[in-house]
Amino acid sequence: MKRSWIKRAGKKTKEWDAARKILKGKFQRARITTCELGYAKCMHDSFLSFAHAKKRRFLKPDELQEVILCCQPCHQIIEQMPYALMYEAVQKIIDSRKDFQKNILK
C-alpha cells in the first residue's frame, strides 16, 4: 500500500492564515460577530467565515483583508453568483459599514 503525503501549505495559504489571525481580532474589536449577509437560511452567528469580493486565487496580498463575515449558507450563495454580482454584494457591505468599524478594520 502506497503512502500518500499531505501537501504542505503554499505561500498563498500561509499569507491567508496570517491575515485571518489579524482579521479575527479586528472584527471582534469592530463588534462584527454575526453574518453580514443575512440571506435565506442564514445561521446568523454559527459557522462563520470570511468572504472576499474576489475569488481568493485572484487576490493580491494587500487585498486579503477586504472581507465580510458570513455564515456558510450565505457564503455558498454568494460563491454561486456570477463574479460581478458577488463582487458587488461584498463591496456594498464593506462600503456601508459605520465609520468607526471602517477605522478599526483598516
Residues 76-93: tens digit of each pLDDT: 999 999 999 999 999 999
Using the predicted structure, report yes or no on whether residue 67 has a pLDDT greater than 70: yes
C-alpha cell at 96: 456601508
pLDDT at residue 69 tops 70: yes
Give pLDDT, residue 7.
79
Query: How far apart, in whole angstroms, are the C-alpha atoms of residue 47 and residue 76?
Result: 12
More confident residue, 72 or 1: 72
Angle at the Cα of 29 from the Cα atoms of 45 and 38, rounded to 5 degrees: 30
Q: Which domain holds residue 79?
A: 11-105
Work out the mean pLDDT of the chain and round it to a whole number.
89
Q: Count the domains in the chain.
A: 1
pLDDT at residue 1, as a whole number: 60
Percent residues over pLDDT 90 in the chain: 62
- The reply to whether 2 falls in a domain is no
Spatial distance between the Cα atoms of 70 and 90, rounded to a whole number of angstroms: 10
pLDDT number for residue 38: 94
Is position 1 within any domain? no
| Alpha carbon distance 26, 10 (integer Å) | 25
